[in-house]
Structure 1
Amino acid sequence: MLRVLEVAHDHPSWTTGGTEFIAKDLADALNFREDVSARLLVAATSLQRPGSAPGSLEAIDDDFVISTGRYDRFSMLRDDGTSWLDSLGKVLETVRPDVVHLHGIDRLGAEILPAIRRMAPRVRIALTLHDYQIICPNDGLLLTTRDQKRCMGMQADRCRSCFPQIDAARHALRQTHLQSLLSAVDVFIAPSEFLKSRFADWGIPADKIRVIRNAVKHAAPVKLAVSSELKAQRTRRDRFAYFGNVSPHKGVMVLLEAAARLKARELDLRIDIHGGLGWADEAFTSAFRDRLEHAGILAQHLGPYDRGDLPNILARTDWVVVPSTWWENAPLVILEARAAGRPVICSGIGGMSELVTDGVDGLHVPPGDASALADTMAKAATDTGLWERLASAPRMPLSHEAFVDQHLDLFRSFFKRVAAA
């Protein structure tokens, strides 16, 4: 029996991010496999667990929940005492894992790595790098704080230009300290080649990083043949949708500027924005609403959506637009769109360019270029043959079953190497 403990910094019950769904779905799928037992451990703040003392251990069904208190985002270390170590010890004692697979270390704290190694010396540790939090103290965005330009990685002097209150030496020490703690990890998993390259440049040996592309649960290929009746009803493929948090780096303002340009050209199409404003500040919220108003009837903000409703929403959508201006790693919405046979229009950078092949199963646009995005959307809305060709592309995302297989193969390889030695 292979025992696996999946660890994430949030739970899909209260956070709808891709990382949470990936961790939960993987834990559940592993549990269905023969000779495998898997459990999920997540962190929760006082917002999700009001009244819970930092470090306390609770449960959501079969999943473990450790409450967290103060957390230093710069150092990625916890500042809420040591009671969480007792809770972590109880989880390790209960699960007795052979493999601990973490999906990031933010909020849980980088100290969890040496803590696991001390409490369970024989366990193997895998860490999936879903974002750039470890590299970049600017929320892991690899964007400059002053002008929101994309950054290729950590350099102490360059990081200081974003955080002038922190001297270059502290940035360098942050990198050295995190690299030291990460030495406890046996293997790193990257969902894209681009992310792997960023972490290899940062200092993680490339031969310790395994690329396993993300997958969505139930992402089965769909029949894409378009009936003659449907063709008669739909002569244009002019329904566009955006999915995700409404925030600057997601490119939603670029999308709305493109919508305003399309409105000026008197094009008849629809853009649905699905997602909440979350913790957006008042200035951005005001700017978003103003730009939404300028887009007129072309665009509407429908607010947050339930993951269970996504198949129905995609069925009413022709094109999924992912106009992010940062180095996205592997957005689940692209995988969900491709699995549903919906072509994607995305910024041709980062992991997005690996998931969407321009002119084959979707279209690329330059990031931040509202004019180019408007032109691309206009062509997409009026060229029905283009939609049919891209939607029928044979290239499909990795199945969730294959995704689970690749993780199991990796986890089991740890012990094959030990036996061979």
Structure 2
Amino acid sequence: MRILFVSYMHPSVTPGGAQQVADEMRQAAIARGHEAFMVAALEADQEGAFGKPGAPIVPMPGEKNQYFYFPQHYNFVHKSVGEWRSLKFFHNLVASIAPDVIHFHHYHRIGVESIRAARMAAPDARICMTFHEMMAICLAGGQMVKTTNRDLCRKATPIDCHGCFEHLRPEFFTLREARLQAILDECDFFFFPSEFISRRYQDWGLDPAKCHVVPNGQVHPEPRVERSRHSRGVNRFGFFGQFIDNKGIDVILDAVLLLAREERLPEGGVEIMINGGNRHYATKDYLARVDALIAEIRALDDDRVRIHELGRYSRDELAERMMMVDWVIAPSTWWEVFGLVVSEAWMFGRPAIVSDIAGLGERVKHEVNGFTFPARNSAALADLIAELAGNELEWRRAHEGIKPDWSELDMFDAHMQVWGEPEGKPAPPPKPDAKALAAEIGPEKFPNLEALFGSVDEA
């Protein structure tokens, strides 16, 4: 079977959960004997380093069957590519590959029109989309966190969305929703890593008959990693992930500062290891708050609180970083769709302490395979840290409650059960005629968005 994976970003360029899952699906497809391809859409500012002038799609250096995609005139609001030439190149590549399955792992930066172009290039292929976020539902970065007061949003309605973006009328959101739903309906299957996000998208309007929940899997470490080892003090708490507002680093810092002020720190103290990259994606106000909290903690006359900022890390460094901590805290303040960091913690035998919300709350069961606390509640997290620091008995109990998580092969096999095997290998399509293709996939197939919706500013 020929399978084309289409992703936003590539893990070799920028770490991130969606691109990691897409690439590990590609690796699993190869391991299962299939022919796998990858197209990764990069950001416009990365074109100078990885692109080629005038070429929207280029081979990934040193890799077979992998390509970087630089769609032009991307519109964040509509998740739309505004230049038909980019889509023509994407169409040509899909037609030359002639895949049996086309698996999109995002639409951000890729552009939803790429789904339509893929359908035109490979009309008999099974096309599917895995949703790693809620950008189609929510214009606020897909976070469903209100821009006005940072409250959690439980349903996107035109009135509520107008409240977050007052310069856009409610009917704008009705039209945006209808357009995105119509293009997404080109897909044959929708995949979701958790029941939570599947329900959200079905409530939004996707066809339930096309929806399938398949948890994310990942490549497991080599057996030599000693998963049952912990530090002598059992008091090292680690954060792993993106250094952005809704990941909750400030919740951890608030919690340990509260313990220090109330003089509830354990005798051996606590160490907080912050493994976070991509600070440039965080807002200035959030970075200022985090930096102020760290400075306040370091100014305390108490050496029982130690903060270590270890910065970003590569996939190759994950084992070393994980084995430096005893507990992994995922204090997300948004509707975390899956929580790949939980899988990474469990992969190395680290008990997870998570916000009891969305995908995190589905996966981690309190005092069974980890610990939960109410989202955004730093006082509740402080209580947990005070209870668990130095508590080897609780560490052992949670460690033993961790069950083997899905591998990348388990994840791929679950998708294969939905896709099914192809009835026969399709014949390679003829090389497209340039003039005919221009007529087939010209600008009239992808109408000017401003004519449909009016000019909008990027969110």
TM over 0.5: yes
- What's the counterpart of residue 75 of structure 2? 72
SS in structure 2 at match of 1:303: coil
Partner residue of 1:392 out of 397, 400, 425: 400
Q: Deviations over 1:301-339 (max 9, x none)?
A: 211112111111111210000000100011211101011
Q: Distance in 2 between matches of 1:30 and 1:239?
A: 37
What does 1:12-411 align with in structure 2 at a 5 Å threshold?
A: 12-34=11-33, 36-50=34-48, 52-53=52-53, 56-60=56-60, 61-62=63-64, 63-79=66-82, 81-218=83-220, 234=232, 236-264=233-261, 265=263, 266-267=265-266, 268-276=269-277, 277-296=279-298, 297-411=305-419
SS in structure 2 at match of 1:125: strand
Q: Which moved more, 1:99-108 or 1:295-304?
A: 295-304
Q: Distance in 2 between matches of 1:207 and 1:325?
A: 31
SS in structure 1 at match of 2:47: coil
SS in structure 2 at match of 1:278: helix
Q: Distance in 1 between matches of 2:374 and 2:133?
A: 21
Q: Deviations over 1:96-133 (max 9, x none)?
A: 10110000111111111111112221111010011111
The answer on whether the counterparts of 2:71 and 2:87 sit within 8 Å (CA) in structure 1 is no
Flag the 1:321–1:54 CA change in 2: closer, same or farther, 3 A: farther
The answer on whether the counterparts of 1:259 and 1:298 sit within 8 Å (CA) in structure 2 is no
Q: Distance in 2 between matches of 1:317 and 1:85?
A: 46
SS in structure 2 at match of 1:69: coil
Q: Distance in 2 between matches of 1:117 and 1:367?
A: 41
Q: Distance in 2 between matches of 1:354 and 1:219?
A: 24
The answer on whether the counterparts of 2:244 and 2:283 sit within 8 Å (CA) in structure 1 is no
Q: Which runs of 5+ in 1 are unaligned?
A: 417-421
* TM-score, length-scaled by structure 1: 0.92
Q: Distance in 1 between matches of 2:138 and 2:52?
A: 30
Q: Which runs of 5+ in 2 are unaligned?
A: 299-304, 425-459
Superposition CA RMSD, Å? 1.9
The answer on whether the counterparts of 1:10 and 1:20 sit within 8 Å (CA) in structure 2 is yes
Report the Cα offset of residue 204 of structure 1: 0.6
Report the Cα offset of residue 383 of structure 1: 2.1
Report the Cα offset of residue 341 of structure 1: 0.7
Q: Distance in 2 between matches of 1:109 and 1:191?
A: 21
SS in structure 2 at match of 1:368: coil
SS in structure 1 at match of 2:309: strand
The answer on whether the counterparts of 1:66 and 1:87 sit within 8 Å (CA) in structure 2 is no
Report the Cα offset of residue 25 of structure 1: 1.3
SS in structure 2 at match of 1:39: strand
Q: Distance in 1 between matches of 2:21 and 2:31?
A: 16
Q: Distance in 2 between matches of 1:346 and 1:52?
A: 43
Report the Cα offset of residue 396 of structure 1: 2.6
The answer on whether the counterparts of 1:12 and 1:21 sit within 8 Å (CA) in structure 2 is yes
Q: Distance in 2 between matches of 1:333 and 1:54?
A: 38
Flag the 1:263–1:346 CA change in 2: closer, same or farther, 3 A: same
Q: Deviations over 1:138-195 (max 9, x none)?
A: 0000100011111123211111100111000000111111111111000000000000
Structure with higher RCO (Cα < 8 A, 6+ apart): 2
Report the Cα offset of residue 30 of structure 1: 0.5
Q: Distance in 1 between matches of 2:348 and 2:214?
A: 21
* TM-score, length-scaled by structure 2: 0.85
- What's the counterpart of residue 434 of structure 2? none
The answer on whether the counterparts of 1:189 and 1:211 sit within 8 Å (CA) in structure 2 is yes
Residue identity opposite 1:78 in structure 2: V
Flag the 1:219–1:130 CA change in 2: closer, same or farther, 3 A: farther
Q: Distance in 1 between matches of 2:88 and 2:71?
A: 13
Residue identity opposite 1:320 in structure 2: V
Report the Cα offset of residue 94 of structure 1: 2.8
The answer on whether the counterparts of 2:44 and 2:70 sit within 8 Å (CA) in structure 1 is yes
- What's the counterpart of residue 6 of structure 1? 5
Q: Deviations over 1:29-76 (max 9, x none)?
A: 201222x11100111223222174576211112211111232221111
Q: Distance in 1 between matches of 2:157 and 2:44?
A: 34
- The count of residues paired between Structure 1 and Structure 2 equals 407
The answer on whether the counterparts of 2:346 and 2:402 sit within 8 Å (CA) in structure 1 is no
- What's the counterpart of residue 302 of structure 2? none
Flag the 1:259–1:70 CA change in 2: closer, same or farther, 3 A: farther
